[in-house]
Amino acid sequence: MRIDRIALNGFRNYEWETADFGPGTNVITGPNAQGKTNLLEAVYMLSAGRGFRTRFDRELIGFGFSAAEILAECESHGRQQSIRILMQPGAPKKIQVNGVKKSAGELSAVLNTVLFCPDDLNLIKEGAAVRRRLLDNAISQIRPRYAEILAEFNRLYEHKSRILKDWREKPSLLDTLDEFSDAMARASAHLIRYRASYAERLNAAAAPIHREFSGEGEALSLRYSTVSTVKDPGASVREIYYDVCEHQEKHRQAELDAGQCLTGAHKDDLEIGVNGRPARSFASQGQTRTAALSIKLAEREILMAETGEAPILLLDDVLSELDTRRQEFVLNRIGGGQTLITCCEDEGISRRTGGKVLFVEKGKIKA
Ligand code: ATP
Ligand code: MG
């Protein structure tokens, strides 16, 4: 799987620009605020249908432009494919693969990426939302159905949150509360089932990477945690649904009192342990980075096992944050696929990897 060429029209700070990528490592370099991460974000969009730094497509449209367009030529599943994404304010984005209209969720069947950015270095120490995002993004790429259920869940969550917040002023809102709670419990059950199974795979793949990475000395463990009444998150969706309902009934009054959703998959976490202790409380800076990296490389392995092809690895500004030994580990481990690395200075990465260098300045790309 690889991207050969991209054209950006009115996307972020790119007015009208094209770039050709090499099949191996591509080092995207240049001073701050020139468009390196924007270029990576455009490639990410081709696989995920959305940016990784914003919830709103309109922010991706260049200042003063009425639309943003990304065009790309890629090689995946043994053939050349073309992807086009067009974003216009106030209209749903248009996505085409080889000239045929597609949904954002369908892009993952064409192109897969694994992104590793500075935020991911906080994967271990930050709150659960970062780890849920990791699960959500990773599972959406291999299970498009998951992305649909997640979108539905988020919609229900927002609606139910509004009811719980406003019911005192408008008691009639309570008429639909139980209906929303039930729909949310159903969607939660599906999400929990998917997340439990992915967390198990991630644990199995990340532990050996981490063991090797840390010099055989350390044991990494990932454990999925969800609604407390769910006895077995690996059970059938129906059983999980009954367990979530049990929690829901017990907390109905508490939800009304607190004015917030207290039951559902929106509080899930992936508990990360190093040598049997919670990494969030005990891991050192170095252990935290090693664990975050191992998890990302494990995500890449799972995608490879699922699709039979190496996903495109997007490393945004992380190499400079890692010491030389960790850098070497990443660079050795990523062989066999295409990688796009951004950094302020090339730091010899292109020499060490034999990769192509793209220099970015003021939204212009020079190879
Ligand atoms: P750094 O090395 O600091 O990470 P970078 O090269 O990765 O820098 P980018 O994050 O790609 O920089 O951003 C480059 C510029 O794009 C920024 O100055 C930003 O303000 C600008 N920018 C972001 N969104 C838009 C937009 N919608 N339209 C025009 N410019 C934008
Ligand atoms: Mg950047």
The finding on whether 38 has its CB within 6 A of some atom of ligand 1 is yes
Tell me the pLDDT tens digit for each residue of 142-159. Answer: 998 999 999 999 999 999
Which ligand has the nearest atom to the CA of 12? Answer: 1
Which ligand has the nearest atom to the CA of 36? Answer: 1
Instruction: Report pTM.
Output: 0.89
Reduced to 3 states (helix: H, G, I; strand: E, B; else coil), residue 150 is: helix
The finding on whether 344 has its CB within 6 A of some atom of ligand 1 is yes
The finding on whether 36 has its CB within 6 A of some atom of ligand 1 is yes
- Ranges of the chain with pLDDT below 50: none
Tell me the CA distances in angstroms from 221 to 40, 270, 273, one per residue in order. Answer: 30, 10, 5
Q: Whose CA is nearest to atom 9 of ligand 1?
A: 35
- Give the atom of ligand 1 at the shortest distance from the alpha carbon of 41: 11
- Which pLDDT score, from 0 to 100, does residue 144 have? 86
The finding on whether 51 has its CB within 6 A of some atom of ligand 1 is no
- Give the atom of ligand 1 at the shortest distance from the alpha carbon of 40: 11
Neighbours of 79 (CB within 10 A): 8
Domains contained in the chain, CATH given:
1-112+312-367 (3.40.50.300), 119-308 (1.20.1050.90)
Q: Check if the beta carbon of residue 311 is closer than 8 Å to that of residue 1.
A: yes
Closest CA relative to residue 27, chosen from 322, 317, 356, 331: 356
- Which pLDDT score, from 0 to 100, does residue 214 have? 85
The finding on whether 10 has its CB within 6 A of some atom of ligand 1 is no
The finding on whether 35 has its CB within 6 A of some atom of ligand 1 is yes
Alpha helices, H only, 32-175: 36-48, 128-142, 144-166
Tell me the pLDDT tens digit for each residue of 85-96. Answer: 999 999 999 999
Ligand 1 centroid vs 273 CA: distance in angstroms? 36
Ligand 2 centroid vs 32 CA: distance in angstroms? 7
Ligand 1 centroid vs 34 CA: distance in angstroms? 6
Question: Using H for helix, E for strand and C for coil, what is the string for 247-294?
Answer: HHHHCHHHHHHHCCCCCCHHHCEEEEEECCEEHHHHCCHHHHHHHHHH
Ligand 1 centroid vs 28 CA: distance in angstroms? 14
- Which pLDDT score, from 0 to 100, does residue 284 have? 86
Q: Tokens in use for 291?
A: 């664990």
- Which pLDDT score, from 0 to 100, does residue 344 have? 86
